[in-house]
Copies of this chain bind each other. A is one copy, B any other.
Amino acid sequence: MSASIEDVARAASVSVATVSRALRGLPNVAPSTRARVLAAASELRYVADPHASRLAARRSLTVGLALPMIGTWYHAKLFSGVEAVVAATGYDVLPFTMTGTGGVDRFLEDLPFRKRVDGLVVVDAPLHPDQLGRLVGAGVALVTLGLRCEQAPSITLDNRAAARLAVSHLTGLGHRRIAIIGGVPDDPFRFSAPVDRHRGYVDALSAAGITPDPALAVPGNFSLEGGAEAMQRLLGASDPPTAVFACSDEMAIGAMQVARDAGLRVPGDLSMVGFDDHDVSAYLGLTTIRQDVTGQGERAAQLLLGLLAPTGGGGAVTVHEVAPTRLLVRHTTGPPPHPTDQFD
């Protein structure tokens, strides 16, 4: 079918060993020989069979990308970033989605993975630190994104500070009844972002002398629908909020729509701040916490490839990076309806 290394060797009148060396740019090949081999290879349109070479070299030249799902804005952006830098280096990327709760176990049981990938970017780490530790112990190069674990480099956000910033913006505008739309109620993963964001929310309230009202903290599932349902619940409360901090822009968008359908003006009657800076947020004028998701994906890939590089694995200390976030004030936040009423 297609040319093998032997065909090239024959065409260039050298041994397969020399072809292998010449083609991979290894030293100790005479320049004239290398040229001859290169010519023969391109003449025959030879490309090394990846499986054969990976078997022989005992490296898969593949990095796995494990994430809870793909198809959401956040994960797609992340994927995009990772893929871009990984592909540029000749590695393959093997996506692995662990949808649902069983997915995580599947992931761990799928030890084929261990033989398939040289390294792994684990996103939103729906894994126990122990489990991650086991992976590291098993010799898989690992970078985590969204959760910090001591054994491996990570990229995270200062979620608490970011949330504090968002909510302070709200208190600064005079809001006293501020709701938070957060993660999933019965967290099947111990995903820390929603927890940390909730802490930042509490921080900011406390700083403004406000006691958090449990009725104002509702789960939103990080989805449009979840945000909408959450808002529904908030509006049904006896004393509805004048402002909402949604832990993702998608939830914010869903929530805003419900609010507007209920006749509330945003920001006139209700202020809304989101988290992410989703592509559409700029067009909706959503005030939000901006983060560069694609950039984080790229960075994670770079870290991983660094680990994989012949030189990198050794002495380097595992680095924990905190990606920057900032508050983007647009047009969905403003003073509460009757600010003075709240202060008497």
> Could you tell me which A residues sit within 8 Å of B by CB distance?
1-2, 45, 47-52, 54-55, 60, 69-73, 75-77, 79-80, 83-84, 87, 92-97, 99, 111-112, 114-116, 139, 224, 228, 250, 253-254, 256-257, 279-280, 282-285, 294
Tell me how many chains of this kind the complex includes: 2
Shortest distance in angstroms between A344's beta carbon and chain B's nearest beta carbon? 36
Shortest distance in angstroms between A192's beta carbon and chain B's nearest beta carbon? 24
Instruction: Identify whether the interface residues of A are mostly helix, strand, loop, or mixed.
Output: helix
How many angstroms between the C-alpha atoms of A54 and B71 in the bound complex?
29
Shortest distance in angstroms between A231's beta carbon and chain B's nearest beta carbon? 11
* Choice from B69, B115, B228 contacting A50 with Cβ under 8 Å: B115
Knowing A50-B112, A51-B60, A76-B70 are in contact, say whether A94-B92 is a contact too (CB < 8 A): yes
Residues of B within 8 A of A284 (CB): 253, 257, 284
A80→B87 contact, CB < 8 A: no
* Choice from B1, B55, B71, B79 contacting A294 with Cβ under 8 Å: B71
A76→B87 contact, CB < 8 A: no
Closest partner residue, chain B, to A55 (CB atom):
B51
Closest partner residue, chain B, to A79 (CB atom):
B70
* Choice from B45, B79, B84, B224 contacting A280 with Cβ under 8 Å: B224
Closest partner residue, chain B, to A86 (CB atom):
B95
**What would be 13 A-B contacts, judged by CB atoms less than 8 Å apart?**
A47-B112, A47-B115, A49-B55, A50-B116, A51-B52, A51-B115, A70-B76, A79-B95, A87-B96, A93-B95, A253-B280, A256-B283, A257-B284
How many angstroms between the C-alpha atoms of A253 and B282 in the bound complex?
10
A83→B97 contact, CB < 8 A: yes
Shortest distance in angstroms between A20's beta carbon and chain B's nearest beta carbon? 16
Interface centre among A51, A72, A79 (most CB of B within 10 A): A51
